[in-house]
């Protein structure tokens, strides 16, 4: 699949330690066509600057004043547009590639408050109990009020094993919560897998990075090899904050043979594009259940929306984040840069999920299922056929049968027992099993 990209365009969030996780698309930057009103406003700006330089009580740094003015101009457009100094812009370019040390959360500005989109699975923040929706009040005792997104990112990054202290408020909690989290290297691995039950696979995608498509092909190949005639797949996009658009498009294409995947529409024709599915070599006709929640954003919403609109997957969980815009990144002089919104994206059926999110077909809240205590009842103690005197013994498996009934256990990346204590995964598996049962009934 070819993409007519003229420059990097991204959509996503500042990620403390995860970096800015962004969507790529295409677009051209057009010069400002200034009218008389614009020129008048620019003249006012220079008049104010000149007045402050001459008469303010202390000496002023004109460069800092101008940079702050640009920061305000871009930052007031929407939560995902920002003016970045060289250090922030450099980090932005590297975040989808290299390894770095931090705590592992993806953040955004929501109503002017620094808010967690999602913790990244397996990271220090995830293990400490940081949750999607947590609002960060302080970082190392410094208030986040009026703090730029890139500033928060830089504060939460740092040397490995050195702690960072953050204070959050959480819905349902009467008081703020304090966390002391040791920074660590943030894993770049974005895909994990397991077999939940013979014939049923599980694929966990934590974000969309440059190599995610290749990793998914590897994991799907292993799942499909372990389970001949795979009966169903659970695709887990929960707390997936997004990432590279081309990866989401190509992964959608693995499960779609034709039709639109996502369309991008901006003010400029050059910022609009439709991405379509193509017929692939692999024929994946098995049913898919996709898991989403409030931490599923951006590229993960593109994937879930495409599969939902094409009736290729059933969506289960809770409503996703609702990030339906696309940003471009443009370098400026002296290492500075700007990131700003150029378009909205739409699902194949023309839905904009901006501030709405993907609504699941079946709503299931997250819950950890406790293992039920085994109790022996009178009915459990009733005699079975095997308890009767002189009952026929079950047939012994031959050498070939033994090989089938005692397969060598493949290496797992995830603990299957632990996965099945997750209510949403368990429900998804039950749906896939039920689908197979009813399909067999219809085929009789």
Point out the residues that are catalytic.
298, 309, 323
**What single DSSP character describes residue 260?**
E
Q: Tell which residue, 95, 300, 317, has the closest CA to residue 216.
A: 300
* Strand 313-317, strand 288-292: pairing: parallel
Q: Using CA atoms, how far apart are residues 180 and 140, in angstroms rounded to an integer?
A: 9
If you search the block for the tokens 């039709």, which residue do you land on?
259
Greatest alpha-carbon pair distance for the chain in Å reads: 109
Phi first, then psi: what are they for 203, rounded to 5°?
-130, 120
> Which contacts qualify for 435-444: CB closer than 8 Å, 24 or more apart?
435/232, 435/287, 436/199, 436/231, 436/232
Sequence-ordered list of residues with C-beta below 8 angstroms from that of 72, at least 6 positions apart, any chain:
none
How many Cα atoms within 13 Å fall on the side-chain side of residue 302?
37
Provide the H-helix boundaries in 18-61. Answer: 36-55
Angle between helices 212-226 and 245-255 (to 10 degrees): 30
> Is 275 strand, coil or helix?
strand
């Amino acid at each position: 699949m070819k993409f007519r990209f003229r420059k990097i365009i991204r959509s996503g969030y500042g990620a403390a330690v995860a970096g800015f996780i962004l969507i790529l698309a295409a677009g051209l930057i057009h010069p400002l066509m200034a009218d008389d009103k614009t020129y008048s406003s620019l003249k006012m700006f220079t008049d104010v600057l000149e007045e402050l330089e001459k008469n303010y009580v202390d000496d002023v740094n004109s460069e800092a004043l101008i940079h702050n003015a640009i920061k305000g101009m871009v930052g007031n457009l929407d939560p995902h547009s920002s003016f970045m100094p060289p250090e922030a812009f450099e980090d932005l370019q590297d975040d989808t590639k290299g390894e770095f040390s931090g705590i592992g959360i993806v953040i955004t500005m929501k109503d002017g408050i620094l808010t967690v989109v999602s913790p990244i699975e397996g990271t220090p923040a995830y293990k400490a109990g940081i949750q999607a929706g947590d609002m960060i009040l302080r970082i190392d005792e410094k208030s986040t009020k009026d703090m730029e997104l890139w500033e928060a990112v830089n504060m939460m990054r740092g040397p490995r094993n050195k702690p960072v202290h953050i204070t959050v408020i959480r819905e349902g909690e009467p008081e703020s919560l304090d966390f002391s989290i040791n920074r660590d290297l943030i894993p770049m691995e974005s895909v994990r897998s397991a077999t939940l039950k013979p014939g049923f696979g599980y694929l966990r995608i934590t974000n969309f990075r440059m190599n995610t498509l290749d990793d998914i092909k590897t994991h799907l190949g292993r799942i499909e090899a372990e389970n001949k005639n795979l009966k169903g797949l659970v695709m887990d996009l929960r707390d997936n904050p997004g990432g590279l658009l081309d990866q989401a498009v190509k992964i959608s294409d693995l499960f779609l043979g034709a039709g639109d995947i996502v369309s991008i529409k901006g003010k400029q024709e050059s910022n609009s594009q439709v991405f379509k599915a193509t017929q692939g070599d692999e024929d994946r006709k098995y049913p898919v259940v996709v898991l989403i929640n409030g931490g599923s954003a951006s590229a993960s919403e593109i994937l879930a929306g495409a599969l939902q609109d094409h009736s290729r997957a059933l969506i289960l969980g809770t409503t996703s984040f609702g990030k339906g815009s696309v940003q471009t990144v443009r370098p400026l002089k002296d290492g500075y840069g700007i990131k700003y919104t150029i378009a909205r994206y739409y699902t194949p059926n023309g839905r904009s999920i901006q501030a709405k999110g993907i609504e699941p077909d079946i709503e299931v809240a997250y819950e950890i299922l406790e293992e039920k205590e085994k109790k022996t009842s009178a009915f459990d103690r009733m005699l079975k056929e095997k308890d009767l005197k002189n009952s026929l013994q079950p047939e012994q498996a031959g050498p070939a049968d033994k090989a089938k009934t005692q397969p060598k256990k493949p290496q797992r990346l995830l603990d299957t027992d632990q996965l099945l204590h997750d209510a949403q995964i368990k429900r998804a598996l039950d749906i896939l099993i039920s689908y197979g049962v009813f399909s067999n009934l219809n085929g009789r």
